[in-house]
Amino acid sequence: MNEAQKEHPAAKACSTLATHIEVIGTAINNNHGAIEFSPEHESIIKRLNKAGLGYIETDTEAYILHSTVVRFVSHFEKKGRIRNSSDDIHACINQIESCVETYQFARQKSLPEARHYLIQISELVVELASLLHENCLYFSSMVAEHLSVISDLQLKIHVTEQALKEHRHLRNKVSVLTPDWQDQLMSLSKELERLVKRRLQPVVNACNRELLQTAHQIKEQITALKKEQQIQQRNTLIDSVHRYLSDNKIGIQLEVAIAPDIFKHVATIPLIGYGNVNQYSQLDILGELGAKAAENRHSKSTIQLADVEKTIDQTDDIEIVDQSPLQAALEYFFEAALQSDAGVEWRGIDCFEKLQPEVELEFWLMSLVGYHHVNQKTHEQKITLHMEEIQLPYFDGNFLVHDVIVTKSREIV
C-alpha cells in the first residue's frame, strides 16, 4: 500500500464522532463533556476511547472528552450566537506577538527551534483569520437573529446597547492589525508573506468595512428602538388620561395646543465661541471676518455717536471724508511697524492706550488681524504677525488670544 492510499489519522476519530454525536453533544451541554458509566453507554465509551476522543477518569468513574472535541462540537452549536469573541481575537494576537519575539531571539542565536516557532506563527495567523471571519463578518447578522426572538422593547434596547459595546471591543482589537503590524509578520519569511497576503489581509480589510457599516446599523437600530419606546410611553400616558377621564365621567376635549405660555419659552444658553487662530487654514476666514467686523463697527459708530463730525468738501468729482479714530490708529500702527528697525516688536495692547482707536481692546486686536490680512500683499516679507495666546482647557485645539504682535522682518542679504 503506497502513501497516497493510507487512511488519514483523523478518519477513525471523525467517523466515531459522527456516529455518536448525539451522546457527545448531550454530554457537552449537560455534563461539561463527561459521559457517566452505564450499561447503555458501555459500548459507546469503548468506541470513543479506541478512537482517542477522550480518557477514563478513575476518581469519578466517568469518560472525559478531550478539550479539542468539546471545542469542535461547541463551535458549531454556538455558531450564530452573540458571544464575547473579542477576547479570543485579543488572545490570538498576543500569542502571535509572543511567538514572533521568541522566533527572532532563536533566529539570532541560530537555534534549530526557530523553525518550530515559525510554523507556530503560521498556524496562529490562520487561526486569527478564521476568528476575524467568524466574529466580524457575521456580527451584524448575529445581532439581527438574536433581536428577532426578543419581544420586550426595553430588553431589545439593552441587548442592542450591549452589542454596540461588543462592537467597540472588536473594533479596538482589529485596529491593532495595522499595515505595519502585518509587514512585520511578512518580513519574517517568504512563506509568512504569502500567508498574510492571501489569508489575513483580505479578512482584515473586509472586517474593517463590515464593522464600520455595522456600527451605523446598530446606532440606527438603537435610535429607532428608543423612538418607538417614546411613542409607547406617550401612548400609555394618553391612554391613562383618557381612562381617568372616562372612569370619573369628566367630559373634556383634549387639544394639542393646550399648555400654559410658560411652556412655550426656552431660556437662552450663554455660549462663547472662539476661532482657532492657531490653524493656518482658518486665518483667511478669520481675517475676512475681522475686516468685515471693523467695517461694520466703523459704519455703526459714525451713525450712533453724535460728537463725531464729518468735514465733507465736495468738488466736481472728489468727496473727502475724515478718517475714523480706528482707521487712523490702524494705519499709524502698521506704518510705524514697516518703518521700524528689523526685529522690533509692536504689541497691540501697548499701543492701544497711545493710539486711542476709541473701540474696545478685544475689537482693536481683531481689527489688527483683519487689517494685516487685507493688506497682506503690501506687508508680505516686510512684517510678520503672531498672537500671544493660551490653549483653552475645554476646547482642545482652540486658543484664547491675549495680544497681537507685529514684528519688522529682517532683510535677507
Q: What is the pLDDT of residues 183-225, one digit of tens each?
A: 988 989 888 898 888 888 888 888 888 888 888 888 888 888 8
pLDDT category of residue 1 using cuts at 50, 70 and 90: very low
| Positive or negative torsion for Cα 204, 209, 213, 219 | positive
pLDDT score of 253: 56
Q: What residues pair up with 345 in beta bridges, in sequence order?
A: 407
State whether residue 7 is helix, strand or coil.
Answer: coil
- Bridge partner list, 320: 313
Average pLDDT in the 109-128 region? 87
* CA–CA distance, 87 with 215 (Å, rounded to integer): 19
What is the residue-wise DSSP string for 47-84?
A: HHHHTTSEEEETTTTEEEEPHHHHHHHHHHHHTTS---
Question: Which residue type is seen at 249?
Answer: K
Residue-wise pLDDT for 315-372, tens only, equals 444 455 566 788 888 888 888 888 777 777 888 878 887 787 788 888 888 888 888 8
Banded model confidence at residue 54, pLDDT cuts 50, 70, 90: confident
**Which residue would you say has higher pLDDT here, 58 or 208?**
208
Residue at grid coordinates 463527561: 34
Whether the per-residue pLDDT at 303 is higher than 80: the answer is no
Query: What residues contact residue 153 under an 8 Å CB cut-off, 6+ apart?
Result: 225, 228, 229, 232
48, 20 contact by CB (below 8 A): yes
Bridge partner list, 389 = 401
Q: Residue 8 has what pLDDT?
A: 83
Average model confidence (pLDDT) across the chain: 76
Q: What is the pLDDT of residue 240?
A: 83
Q: At 82, is the pLDDT very low, low, confident or very high (cuts 50, 70, 90)?
A: very low
- Bridge partners, 390 (sequence order): 400
- Residue 22, SS3 per DSSP: helix
SS3 state at 105: helix
Q: What is the pLDDT of residue 176?
A: 87
Calpha distance 337→320 (Å, rounded): 27
Name which of 10-14, 96-100, 111-115, 303-307 the model is least confident about.
303-307
pLDDT at 397: 56
Q: How far is CA 220 from CA 49, 85, 151, 166, 387, in A?
A: 52, 23, 19, 16, 44
- Average pLDDT over every residue of 113-132: 86
Is the CB of residue 124 less than 8 Å from the CB of residue 92? yes
